[in-house]
Amino acid sequence: MLQLLTITLSLLTLLTTTTLALPTPSKSNSKVTTNTFVLNGLPAPTGTLKYIALGYGTQNYSCAALNDAPVSIGALATLYDATSILSHGAIGAASIPKMPALALSMGSGLGLPTLGHHFFSAAGVPTFSLEAAKPAALLSAKKVADVVAPTNSAPNSVDWLFLTDDGRGVSKHLNAVYRVETAGGKPPGVCSSVGTVTEQYAAEYWFYD
């Protein structure tokens, strides 16, 4: 409860210190709204929204030689459950474009409960394991669309993506995920050292089934 309060206060502080205008409160509070994210050119979702996760972790790159372009070799992130905060209401809607940048600047998952993990399998498959979901869910994914982050994103933000089940028959209770509202994660354009480069990033992952 205290954690939730802290998150809410952090977000409120962030909101009130920006020029963002909160929408006028609706006269009727009986109307349930379902918030959505900006597609930024990605294909529209099909299916049902299941979870919204805040991902915080690293994007990994390999540098074979000085001045090479870094090559992406995967990612490792904790997925925090932001579903109840972001999926409805005016504060949720206003927080959607702000939460990952806040997480990156604070260097944490903002005290949200852990929902699962994002990693690359031994075979290099982007995988999302929502082990705290009920029932536990898994998405073994393949990338189907990729757009650059909007120009108003945090500096060096990785692309926004749309990934779907890769058809290997191992996914459970999930069919697709969007990576949006990215903050950070992009390496320098050329390698200044040889070896693995890791870049901290945060993003929202919107899961559908």
Ligand X SMILES: *[C@@H]1O[C@H](CO)[C@@H](O)[C@H](O)[C@H]1NC(C)=O
Binding site for ligand X (CB under 6 A): 58, 60, 73-74, 76, 120, 198
Which amino acid appears at position 145 of this protein? A
Q: Which is nearer to ligand X, 38 or 76 (CB)?
A: 76
- As measured in angstroms, the least distance from the Cβ of 56 to ligand X is 13
- As measured in angstroms, the least distance from the Cβ of 203 to ligand X is 15
Q: Are 79 and 205 in contact (CB under 8 A)?
A: yes
- As measured in angstroms, the least distance from the Cβ of 18 to ligand X is 32
How far, in Å, CA of 62 to CA of 68, rounded? Answer: 10
Residue 139 φ then ψ, to 5°: -125, 115
Q: Which is nearer to ligand X, 45 or 116 (CB)?
A: 116
- Kindly give the pairing relationship between strand 71-81 and strand 49-63: antiparallel
Listing DSSP states for 11-69 in one string gives HHHHHHTSSPPPPPPPS-S----------TTSPPP-S-EEEEEEEEEEEEEEESSTTSP
Q: Which is nearer to ligand X, 8 or 198 (CB)?
A: 198
Q: Which is nearer to ligand X, 60 or 87 (CB)?
A: 60
Beta bridge partners of 199: 59
- As measured in angstroms, the least distance from the Cβ of 20 to ligand X is 34
Q: Which is nearer to ligand X, 181 or 199 (CB)?
A: 199
Which residue number is nearest to ligand X in terms of Cβ?
74
Nearest to 60 by CA among 185, 154, 204: 185
- As measured in angstroms, the least distance from the Cβ of 206 to ligand X is 22
